[in-house]
Structure 1
Amino acid sequence: MYRPPPGQFSPTPLGGAQTPGASPMAASWQRPSASPAGSDATASPGKGVWREHQTPEGRKYWFNTMTRQSTWQKPEELMTAEEKALLSCPWKEYTTPDGKKYYSNSQTKETVWEMPAEYKEHLEKAQQAQERAVVQPPPQPTPPVPSKPEVEKPRHVRNHPPPSVTLLAQEPAVEFATKEEAEKAFIKMLKETGVKSDWTWDQTMRAIITNPMYRSLKTLHERKAAFNSYIDREAKRERELREEKETKQRVTFFHMLENTKEIKPYSRYRSIARMLANNPAFTQVKSEKQRRLYIDEYVHGLQRREKDRLRELRKSSMERFAKLLKDMPEITFLTPWKEAQKLYMERPEFQDSKTFEGMDQLDFLSVYEEHNRSLWEAPMAEQNRKNCELRRRDRKCRDQFKALLQELLQKNLINSQSMWKEVYPHLKDDSRYLDLLGLPESTPLDLFWDLLDELDEQLYQHKKIIYDALKQAGFDVDVDTTYDAYRQVLANSKRITEYNVTDENMKIIFEHLQNKAAHRQKELRRKQEKKMRKRMDALRYAMKHLETAINVEDTWESVRPRLEQLPEFQDIEEEQYRIEAFDKYIKRLKEKQNEQDDEDEEGMIKEEDEIYDRRHRSRSRGGHRHSRHGGRRDSDVSDHGDSDEERSFRKRRKKDLFRETPLDQPIHVDQNNIEEGEALDEYVKDPRRQL
């Protein structure tokens, strides 16, 4: 809805609209802005201090020039009688961004779309109060007593008092048969009064309140609805008139531009404006911005038409060049671009510059590429045909070799455990194998591996079936199980026959089960041997801690009575393992005795080394007393004096150090003899070892 222009529109005594300053008769209907000195003020003294402002977002607020405070709420001094009447109502009217009104109760926080009855009652009272405020004339100020002769008033100014409320009440109300007729009469009154599309309801009511047709509609709601309908219709009519006017101006302006041949697609607005400055169609459009929009639109249209013309010209030139290439048999699919350029430039059609107008070098190249591509179609089709034949031949060779593998499979020459070197002798001379050699994609070995993958999958499925059959029959395969017994158990299973389990797979699975059984036996035997070794080690440990120590010269028969009561002795049931533990213990005692002898010999050698070092140092000190010339002789004596004694000493020492005896060598433990190694480790680590 449009807002009214600034100014006050007061009703005339006859109900017509009175524009500001049109006649002095309207002065009696306007509320004075301030009371003269010495008169009673009818307006609130706080009205003049409030100023209405608006934020950049469009929200209104009021500023008090005296207290320098701002508020979002409209001050009570500025409120109309209608707003004051609605101030006490808890229901408030709001508007959504779409323009739809809703009502909210500030006390109960309730929100509704329909107007509440309480709000409607307050609204009617407010409208009646506003009507009374409009009809009732403002109080006339009491003029002061003049001290000078009264100035003569202008003759054209006359005081016409407004009609009183009693007079308006005495006017008869016009009655209509239907509501539609009353609404038409009300809208006709608005039109005759001169209500514009940008008027507000308050402004309009001041202009029509005294018109008898104002009461043609009974309620204020009906009057407002008719007013809004009239305003919308007027706004639409004015908009249509404005659009029609703009359309006529646009047609005239474009007709002027089309008749001006000097305007080119590259022309600019300034040059066109100077060219058409005196044309009536140009000056008829008052807005500079609108002129620029029209001219830019026309120039863009010229540019678009020029582009379309050049595009069509280029397209036709390219078609002529393509036809020229087709008429040149010397250009084949093997002709390179540089040679083709020389050939078509020699043609007389190319000499005319307008023949291929609008084309550039890339256009010539693209047309030639398209022509060359069409020339390649026939050779490529022939090559594709040959490739298809080769692929068909290769596929047949692969199929024949697969059939050869199936034949070997039926003869039980191939199974899931087969190796290529085992199968190769059976197919090396077959033509189906020889034909596949040298062909791309799959080789004979690849196809053989593919077959093995299929057999592995088949073996896996058959293995699950056989395992289920053996489990249902309660049959376990061990090392001593025969294949016939195993085969007889499987023959009673329906699933074996149903899934066509082959004899070859049965045999492979039987061997697998037997290998598992052998592995289990071997594992069990290993655990038993380990357990026995631990018992033998425990017996050896007990021998070491007997009250009467065992000597190297003792025999098993002499020691056995001392061991019979030990729990370690009773844990070993076999006599041979007891004797083996005793023998190992005696062997270890002998090794320890040899080690002790070696330590004694090493002590003697160490003493002899110390004696030798002392002699050597004493002779070295004595040699320094001789002269420089006798040094060599003394040195020879030091090296070779008592040579027989020293040489014999060195030989004996070297013989003792490097003689190869079993006791001098480190104890060698056989890696395969695990029991001896573990017993030796326990013996070395035992902190109580005292021999």
Structure 2
Amino acid sequence: MSFSKAEKVFASEPAWKAVTDIQDRKDIFRNAQDLMRSTFKKREEEQSRKNKDALMNVLTDIPEITYKTTWKEAQYFLSIDPTFKKNKNLLKMNKIDALEAFQDHIYNLEDEHEKEESRKNKEQKREERKVRDKYRILLDKLAEEGVITSLTYWSEIYATISKHSCFEEMLKQTKLNPLDIFKCYVNELKESYDKDKSVIKKILEKANFTIEIDTDFETIKDLIMNDEKGQKTNLSNVKMFFTSQKLRAEKRRQHAVKKEEKRLKKLENAFHKMLSSIVGEIDEKVMYEDIVDKISSEDIYNDVEDDEKRQQFFNSYIVKLTTSCGHNHSKQKESKKIKNKKLLKYQQLTDTDDSDGEEKRVEYERKRPFQNGSPISSDDDEEPVPEKKEKIEVNDEDLSEGEIRD
């Protein structure tokens, strides 16, 4: 209402007449308007707040409304809700206020959902951690028993681990699986073994002790555990170090044996060569004592450590000659049998009548036209069969140690 209109409406009122000054009347009128506006605004705000609270209560009571519900879907649920339809204030409610109330309600639902998800995740992580702890305990137990070491492969241990219930539970893990934890565990064992290995080596060097094939584990164990630093080492690592050193000792022994065998073989070949050059071919009736005077002045004779080995080399030389001679005789007999068989077949062909014999002879020549030295093929123009090249003999002395085979 304007001041001029108020002049007409309140002109007969005693309170209006009591203020004679026009400017005072205007000031009082404006103050009254400001007071009315403030009071009306407060009433509207209070009613808006009440309506929002009431609408949020209604929305809370509707179970179909979740943190994913849209405003359009919420309007439908409100239109069929009996509580909402009976409340006249809510039906007259400002749409902006209603939307703000719905938005606040969705924010609350989202916060509750996030808290619930966080609680579930924590609970799940707690359960998974318990399962991993059980699995780690199993790995520790197998490591103590020596079943798992830093060199163990998953394929070797799978059959043992898969029998336990914690393995089945580990398969349900969202992130880590049994193989992942096993790999991490083996890496930890490797790091632990490297540290303990360094300590064990220093203890053995200090004691001037070397692990050989016949070394007992208890001896190493007592030596390590009597040392202050050795007491902190893992016993399984001590066992693994002991096993590896035993294998090394065995390899050293095998290498020494092979080296000695090669040396003796080379010495034997040289001894045979010496016998061949000095004594020549001899039969098995000749005794070592019969020729010892002839070879005693040779260098290779003195290179052989003892007379027992010299006699052993002499015996092997006799066996070698005998075997070689036997092979030559068997080859000659075989060749003679083949020639006799061909000659017999040829005689059978020539003993038949002329017509049949001629046909068989022609057929025989067709199948075997170039039998060198045979009575059937005697063409002078036939090219000679190339002679077999003689095998070049290589002396053992011309070969290096690596080229001489056992």
Give TM-score scaled by structure 1 length.
Answer: 0.32
| Secondary structure of 1:554 counterpart | coil
SS in 2 for 1:545: helix
2:205 corresponds in structure 1 to 471
Question: In the superposition, relative to structure 1, how do residues 603 and 416 fare at CA in structure 2: closer, same or farther (>3 Å)?
Answer: closer
1:127-166 mapped onto 2 (5 Å cutoff): none
| Cα gap change, 1:605 to 1:506, in 2 (>3 Å) | closer
Select the residue among 340, 350, 355 that pairs with 1:608. 340
Alignment partner, residue 401 of structure 1: 135
* Structure 1 SS opposite 2:278: coil
Match of 2:189? 455
Q: CA deviation at 1:435?
A: 3.7
The separation in 2 between residues aligned to 1:551 and 1:407, in whole angstroms, is 70
User: Deviation at 1:378?
Assistant: 8.7
CA contact (8 A) 1:543 1:550 kept: no
Q: Which residue number corresponds to residue 598 of structure 1?
A: 330
In the alignment of these two chains, the number of paired residues is: 267
Query: 1:585 is matched with which residue?
Result: 317
| Structure 2: runs of 5 or more not aligned | 1-69, 78-106, 364-390, 397-406
- Asked if the contact 2:350–2:357 (Cα under 8 Å) also holds between the matched residues in 1, the reply is no
Within the alignment, does 1:326 sit opposite 2:71 as a pair? yes
Deviations 1:201-228 (A, max 9, x none): xxxxxxxxxxxxxxxxxxxxxxxxxxxx
1:373-429 CA-to-partner distances (Å, cap 9, x unmatched) read: x9x979985895555643443233223432454466578775546677779769956
| Among candidates 292, 297, 300, match of residue 560 of structure 1 | 292
The answer to whether the 8 A contact 2:170-2:178 is kept is yes
Alignment equivalent of 1:438, drawn from 172, 182, 195: 172
TM-score by length of 2: 0.51
Q: Does 1:517 align with 2:222?
A: no
1:526 matched to 2:258: yes
Q: State the Cα distance separating 1:459 from its structure 2 match.
A: 0.5
Q: Deviations over 1:156-196 (max 9, x none)?
A: xxxxxxxxxxxxxxxxxxxxxxxxxxxxxxxxxxxxxxxxx
What SS does the aligned partner of 1:587 have? helix
What does 1:99-178 correspond to in 2, within 5 Å? none
Q: 1:529 to 1:387 in 2, by over 3 A?
A: same
Residues of 1 paired with 2:281 and 2:146: CA distance? 71
Cα distance change of structure 1 residues 501 and 547 upon mapping to structure 2, 3 Å threshold: closer
Q: Deviations over 1:39-86 (max 9, x none)?
A: xxxxxxxxxxxxxxxxxxxxxxxxxxxxxxxxxxxxxxxxxxxxxxxx
Deviation at 1:596, TM superposition (A): 3.1
Residue 454 of structure 1 and its aligned partner are, at CA, apart by: 0.9
Structure 2 CA distance for partners of 1:434 and 1:495, relative to 1, 3 Å: same
Partner in structure 2 of residue 537 of structure 1:
269
Instruction: Please list the CA deviations of residues 272-323 of structure 1 after superposition, one character each: whole Å capped at 9, or x if unmatched.
Output: xxxxxxxxxxxxxxxxxxxxxxxxxxxxxxxxxxxxxxxxxxxxxxxxxxxx
Residue equivalent to 1:345: none
Counterparts of 1:683 and 1:555, CA distance in 2: 31
Higher relative contact order (CA 8 A, sep 6+): 2
Tell me which residue corresponds to 1:99.
Answer: none
Which stretch of the first structure deviates more once superposed, 617-626 or 455-464?
617-626
The 8 Å contact of residues 413 and 423 in structure 1, kept in 2 or not, is answered as no
AA in 2 matched with 1:456: K
In structure 2, the residue corresponding to 1:471 is in which secondary structure? helix
Over 3 Å counting, the alpha-carbon distance change for 1:495 and 1:395 in structure 2 is closer
Shift of 1:509: 1.5
Q: Give distance in 1, aligned partners of 2:239 and 2:144.
A: 16
**Per-residue deviation, residues 206-252 of structure 1 (Å, max 9, x unmatched):** xxxxxxxxxxxxxxxxxxxxxxxxxxxxxxxxxxxxxxxxxxxxxxx
Inter-partner Cα distance in structure 1 for 2:201 and 2:139: 29
Counterpart contact for 1:550–1:559, Cα < 8 Å: no
- What amino acid maps onto 1:471 in structure 2? E
CA contact (8 A) 1:469 1:493 kept: yes
Structure 1: segments with no counterpart, 5+ residues: 1-324, 333-373, 639-681
Taking the TM superposition and a 5 Å limit, the aligned residue runs for 1:252-267 are none
CA separation of 1:550/1:384 partners in 2, compared to 1, >3 Å: closer, same or farther?
Answer: same
Contact 2:143 2:236 in 1 (8 A): no
Residue 621 and residue 525 in structure 1: after superposition, are their counterparts in 2 closer, same or farther (change >3 A)? same
How far apart, in 2, do the equivalents of 1:490 and 1:593 lie?
63
C-alpha distance in structure 2 between counterparts of 1:408 and 1:619, whole Å? 88
Q: Which amino acid aligns with 1:501?
A: T
8 A contact 2:283–2:322 mirrored in 1: no
Change (3 A) 1:390 1:577: same
Deviating more after overlay: 558-567 vs 614-623: 614-623
| 1:453 to 1:563, Cα distance in 2 relative to 1, 3 A | same
Residues of 1 paired with 2:145 and 2:284: CA distance?
Answer: 71
Percent pairwise identity: 20
Report the structure number with the largest CA radius of gyration: 1
Structure 2: distance between partners of 1:527 and 1:434: 53
Query: What aligned pairs does 1:93-104 form with structure 2 within 5 A after superposition?
Result: none
Closer/same/farther in 2, CA of residues 516 and 330 from structure 1, 3 Å limit: same
Residues 445-491 of structure 1: CA deviation (Å, up to 9, x unaligned) = 54234222211210111112222333344332323444454345445
Contact (CA 8 Å) 2:144, 2:236: kept in 1 or not? no
